[in-house]
Amino acid sequence: MKNVVVIGGGVAGIQASLDLAERGIHVYLVEKEPSIGGRMALLDKTMSTNDCSICILAPKMNDCFSHPNIEVLEYSEVVGLTGEAGDFTVKVRRKAKYVDASKCTGCGDCMEKCPTEIPNEYNSNLNKRKAIYLPFPQAVPRKATIDEEYCLKLTKNRCGLCQKICKAEAIDYTQKDTMVELSAAAIIVAVGLSVYDPRDLHEYGYGKYENVRTWMEYERLINAAGPTHGHLKCAPDGRRPKKIAFIQCVGSRDVKRCRWCSSVCCMVSIKSAMLANEHYNDLESYIFYSDLRVFSKRFYEYSKRGEKDYRITYIHARPGEIAEDKRTKNLTLYYENEDEGKVDALEVEMVVLATPILPAEDTVRIAETLGLEVDDDGFLKTVDYLQYPVETSKPGVYVAGCCERPKDITESVIQASAAAAKAAVLAEG
Amino acid sequence: MMMAEELRIGVFVCDCGTNIAGFLDVPEVCEYAKTLPDVVYVKENMYTCSNAGIQEIMDAIPKYRLNRVVVASCTPRTHEPLFRKACEDAGLNKFLFEFVNIRDQCSWVHQKEREKATEKAKDLVRMGVARARLLEPLEEIEIPVEKSSLIIGGGVAGMTAALSLAEQGFEVHLVERECTLGGLLNGINELYPSDRDAGALLDEMREKIEGEKRVHVYLESEVDHVDGYIGNFSVKLKGKSRDELKVGTIIVATGAQPYEPMYMYNYDEYENVITQYELERMLKEKKTGNWQKIVFIQCVGGRGERVRYCSRICCMNSIKNARLLRKLLPDAEIYIIHRGMQTYGTVYEEYVRKAREEGVRFVRVKDGIPTASSLEKRNGKLAVGFYHPGLRRKLEIDADLVVLATPLIQREDAKRISQLLKVPLGQDGFFFEAHVKLRPVDFATDGIFMAGSCRAPADINECMMQAMAAASRAAIPMAKGYVKTEPYTPTIDEERCMGCGVCVEVCPYGAMHLVEKNGRRVAENIPAACKGCGACGSSCVHRAISMGHFRDEQIMAQIDEVVT
């Protein structure tokens, strides 16, 4: 029996790893962040059932980490590949965490004492985290990591508070990156996605108007573990919104930006609007869409439920412009309602932009390292869209999740299991 | 029952750094624990889960001859396996371990009530110790798994699953009720998005199946009867083959059927009003007419009309056929009247763009009302009327051909399959998965999986992906060769059991059944299928069912500690 290397510890990577490990195949799961969980760990609820995202994922993260057949290499990057299907050698850089994982208990004392605050990327930079940190409370493994870019001890040889406070004596400022070589019969690439930054769509004022948010920021704002503990707050006075507008296809289905449809955003906005209404039951939402894409199992019914029970109004329009009231910071959207055939305006307190899913930032680097082809849009290419849905251009390397094309959690899980079926043949063969 | 032995309970109370110790008085909880009956050792740990903490448990077991271990700390969700393993490694049966949750359910929720939180932690520890006294050593049960699979349905999903399982080294029995493999694909002309010939793909797949000695195909046959549970299903076929099979897993891939739009848009009266599937056949047989104006009407019967759901694949199907007709009839006008095109993703969005460039005209109407408002025969033409929201008036197109895009619906015999396997159908009529996000191709019943349009309408790419996923899931127990069940299964007191069958009805996993024993009907549990949920135990009015590790006495002892 040979090993399989899974690159990316989001829900797709976790599912693929568990499928393989359960049948007795040894898996190395390589994750670039200090915790597995990926994008799904940062979502508030999942659409169509409104399950708490981290609550359903965390048990899987734990299963994965504690599985005797899975070795998680967190905070690590794949930097080289040699060999061929059935007999690969994968070179991995394990980045220094400056914390002895065998001693750290994840208590959090060091994070309380650390004086260095930096924008928290796990909360869409909406609040601060420390230079020694856990990405999020349910992180797996629950071990601290020191950010070498910002740590005072590592950058200026000052401070050292975390070492003083750590009762487990886990802090080790001398740690270095290490290289490991993993042998693998097959590789599954599940490196996930990134999200479009809509700053270049000046008409919507993102980055300029405080009450214009992206959907990923909204996920954190509505989340009880997020920077506002789940309370929606608007500038300038922190009042909660009574009306929210969601704009679909911001940067996507746009030949000048992202040509594709991201598949999930219509449902994400419906879900977000439902959650807002669950928090404040007089809150009204307006979803501005081009084609409401609600095609998967129970999605259409969900969209109708939003209209009926959650005060959602769907408006067939692409707003041309948003204007901000300088005093109230309220936002007025100007649009042509295509279902009514008239030009209209709507004032709201908050606007959420549904920006498209892009390939993850390091997809190109991974593709070059592994020798994989990417498609015109930058996603990893399969041999044949129709018949070979998980096979990349390189035999023995399979793909799952959003790095292949935008898809939802269900489809990522399905593709991950499918990739595991192919990888298992090589590992057991 | 176990031998009467002296009870020696060890209690470990965790500070969890400041997570627990910061909000309640851990030393006080420890002192209190020492006063509880049969507690011979109490230890406070800064982190019971750290290597040092685990070592302390492992050292204390032999040193103080502990035969029960209680840890009061975070949550069993993440840490029970760790502490159980520590007990096991120190030679103690792991079911003699009891978890007391004083973090998630105590210190974290009472952060501003130190005294009350401390009292609650004491209550919880007392309850845990009471239960620990009654714990019994248990063994996990291993059940062997037959390394073969039954696949019901020989369409593209069933064939793909069969090939994948065979490739993974398992025997496959593929049962198809028609005289040929291929299912709905047999009636399809070309496949989007590559515009590849469906027949060629089918031929390729059939050939692979024929060349695969591990796949046994049963044509013109159906499943007549299924008995058993994961690892050990007995299957009887009917029809052309009456074989009896032994399989370890089952994949349901029975597909779907197109909705027939009777009494809609005069479909049953007008010759040139046809369904998408009839158009497929015409294109396949090259029997298209010299039509000058063609109108596709989307969502006929779908999206709240005859069925509530969106059928997912019809938009792409219409675009595909519109593009084909565009090539065949370069002068024809082709319209697709729709309620929002569902061309999701990278490839399909590109596909619709191409269709637009080639001159296919898309007309968007409002959702929630019938796509076209009228269809009448006038001067030998079909006048299709619809309300154009942008122009705010009704328009008409005089068409030569009207194509109705109807949804895929569940097959009529799905209900029979559902009863046969004791697996559920959802409100929409499609098979119902164990979890919509995280277990999309599993049934809640172990060992049974699903793929393709019997789950929800799916196109070829999606059917193949799901089939491979189902094959991966089904392969897990077969590759392992066994399934292990936690010993939380019920024991039935046959004297008390009246054979009423309530437990059989409430069991969501098909793990209870009635058997004849000594001339009486009594309930029996199938451990391999059982999840130990306790539904049977709690619903047995005769108190004949006792759940392993959660016996009534164990639970009552805990409750008594807090109510008395």
Has residue B3 been placed in a domain?
no
> Which helix (DSSP H) or strand (DSSP E) does residue B178 occupy?
none
A82 touches chain B (CB under 8 A): no
Same domain, B229 and B106: no
Q: List the 511-550 stretch of B: residues with Cβ below 8 A of A.
A: none
User: The domain that contains B379 carries what CATH number?
Assistant: 3.50.50.60
* Predicted pLDDT of residue A429: 85
Domains of chain A: 4-95+177-192+360-428 (3.50.50.60), 109-165 (no CATH), 198-356 (3.50.50.60)
Of A59-63, B207-211, B269-273, B415-419, the poorest mean pLDDT is in A59-63
Q: Which amino acid is at B287?
A: K
Distance CA B82, CA B482 (A): 23
* Predicted pLDDT of residue A78: 98
Cβ neighbour number for residue B191 with a 10 Å cutoff:
22
Considering only the beta carbons, identify the residue of A389, A405, A424 that sits closest to B168: A424
Looking at B329-389, list the stretches that DSSP marks H as alpha helix, in order from N- to C-terminal side: 345-357
Distance CA B156, CA A386 (A): 12
Please give the residue range of the domain that contains residue B70: 9-138
Has residue B174 been placed in a domain?
yes
Distance CA A3, CA B535 (A): 40
Same domain, B124 and B212: no
Last residue of a domain, one of B408, B430, B458: B408
* Predicted pLDDT of residue B1: 44
b/e map A411-422, b = 16+ CB within 10 Å = bbbbbbbbbbbb
Q: Is the pLDDT of residue B3 over 60?
A: no
Same domain, B479 and B490: no
Q: Residues B369-373: what's their mean pLDDT? A: 94
* Residues from chain B contacting residue A386 (CB–CB below 8 Å): 191, 193-194, 196, 201, 460-461, 464
pLDDT in tens, B438-469: 999 999 889 999 999 999 999 999 999 999 99
Q: Residues B343-364: what's their mean pLDDT? A: 96
The verdict on a CB contact (< 8 Å) between B349 and A425 is: no
- Interface predicted TM-score (ipTM) over 0.95: yes
How far B462 CA sits from the closest chain A CA (Å)?
8
Q: Which amino acid is at A65?
A: F
DSSP 3-state of B359: coil
Give A325's contacts (C-beta < 8 A, 6+ positions apart): A331, A332, A347
Same domain, B279 and B383: yes
B354 touches chain A (CB under 8 A): no
**What DSSP letter does each residue of A251-314 carry, written as one string?**
SBS-TTSB-S--SSHHHHHHHHHHHHHHHSTT-EEEEEESS----STTHHHHHHHHHHHS-EEE
Q: How far is CA A360 from CA A38, A123, A259, A406, in A?
A: 11, 17, 17, 11
* Predicted pLDDT of residue B132: 97
* Predicted pLDDT of residue B81: 86
Same domain, B236 and B293: no
Dihedral sign, CA of B193, B198, B204, B206? Answer: positive
Q: Is the pLDDT of residue B386 over 80?
A: yes
How far B50 CA sits from the closest chain A CA (Å)?
6
Same domain, B203 and B70: no
Has residue B554 been placed in a domain?
no
Last residue of a domain, one of B436, B467, B483: B483
Distance CA A141, CA B419 (A): 43
Q: List the 62-81 stretch of A: residues with Cβ below 8 A of B.
A: 62, 66
The verdict on a CB contact (< 8 Å) between B344 and A261 is: yes
Distance CA A71, CA A78 (A): 15
The verdict on a CB contact (< 8 Å) between A386 and B464 is: yes
Considering only the beta carbons, identify the residue of B78, B310, B345 that sits closest to A299: B310
Distance CA A138, CA A150 (A): 23
A203 touches chain B (CB under 8 A): no
The verdict on a CB contact (< 8 Å) between B194 and A386 is: yes
The verdict on a CB contact (< 8 Å) between B168 and A386 is: no
Q: Bridge partners of B293?
A: B333
Distance CA B36, CA A306 (A): 54
Give B271's contacts (C-beta < 8 A, 6+ positions apart): none
How far B563 CA sits from the closest chain A CA (Å)?
31
At B65, list the tokens. 């001859």
B471 touches chain A (CB under 8 A): yes
* Residues from chain A contacting residue B347 (CB–CB below 8 Å): 385, 405
* Residues from chain B contacting residue A43 (CB–CB below 8 Å): none
> pLDDT tens, position by position, for chain A (429 residues)?
899 999 999 999 999 999 999 999 999 999 999 999 999 999 999 998 898 898 889 889 988 998 999 999 999 999 999 999 999 999 999 999 999 999 998 888 999 999 999 999 999 999 999 999 999 988 999 899 999 999 999 999 999 999 999 988 999 999 999 999 999 999 999 999 999 999 999 999 999 999 999 999 999 999 988 999 899 999 999 999 999 999 999 999 999 999 999 999 999 999 999 999 999 999 999 999 999 999 999 999 999 999 999 999 999 999 999 999 999 999 999 999 999 889 999 999 999 999 999 999 999 999 999 999 999 999 999 999 988 999 999 999 999 999 999 999 999 999 999 999 999 999 998
Last residue of a domain, one of B464, B483, B502: B483
The verdict on a CB contact (< 8 Å) between A316 and B389 is: yes
* Residues from chain B contacting residue A103 (CB–CB below 8 Å): 50-51
Distance CA A115, CA A151 (A): 9
Q: Residues B506-521: what's their mean pLDDT? A: 91
DSSP 3-state of A14: helix
Nearest-by-CA chain B residue for A254: B349
Q: How far is CA A31 from CA A68, A138, A207, B402, B518, in A?
A: 18, 16, 30, 53, 59
Same domain, B249 and B164: yes
b/e map A342-358, b = 16+ CB within 10 Å = eeeebebbbbbbbbbbb
* Residues from chain A contacting residue B476 (CB–CB below 8 Å): 19, 22-23
pLDDT in tens, B422-435: 999 999 999 999 99
